[in-house]
A and B are shown apart, each in its own frame.
Chain A
Amino acid sequence: GEDVEQSLFLSVREGDSSVINCTYTDSSSTYLYWYKQEPGAGLQLLTYIFSNMDMKQDQRLTVLLNKKDKHLSLRIADTQTGDSAIYFCAERTLRNTDKLIFGTGTRLQVFP
Chain B
Amino acid sequence: DAGVIQSPRHEVTEMGQEVTLRCKPISGHDYLFWYRQTMMRGLELLIYFNNNVPIDDSGMPEDRFSAKMPNASFSTLKIQPSEPRDSAVYFCASSLGSWERTEAFFGQGTRLTVV
A and B assemble together: yes
Does B12 sit at the interface, judged by CB under 8 A?
Answer: no
Residues of A within 8 A of B105 (CB): 45
Does A80 sit at the interface, judged by CB under 8 A?
Answer: no
**Using a Cβ–Cβ cut-off of 8 Å, how many residues does chain A contribute to the interface with B?**
22
Given contacts A42-B106, A43-B91, A45-B103, contact A99 B56 (CB under 8 A): yes
Given contacts A104-B42, A105-B42, A105-B43, contact A97 B103 (CB under 8 A): no
Interface residues of B in 47-63 (CB under 8 A from A): 48, 50, 55-56
Interface residues of A in 46-80 (CB under 8 A from B): 48, 50
Task: Return A103 CB to nearest CB of chain B, in Å.
Answer: 8
User: What is the interface residue range for chain B against chain A?
Assistant: 20 to 34
Residues of B within 8 A of A100 (CB): 104
Given contacts A41-B108, A42-B4, contact A48 B33 (CB under 8 A): no
**In the complex, are the beta carbons of B42 and A99 less than 8 A apart?**
no
Other than A31-B100, A104-B42, give 8 A-B pairs with Cβ distance below 8 A.
A40-B108, A43-B93, A45-B104, A45-B105, A48-B103, A50-B100, A99-B33, A99-B45
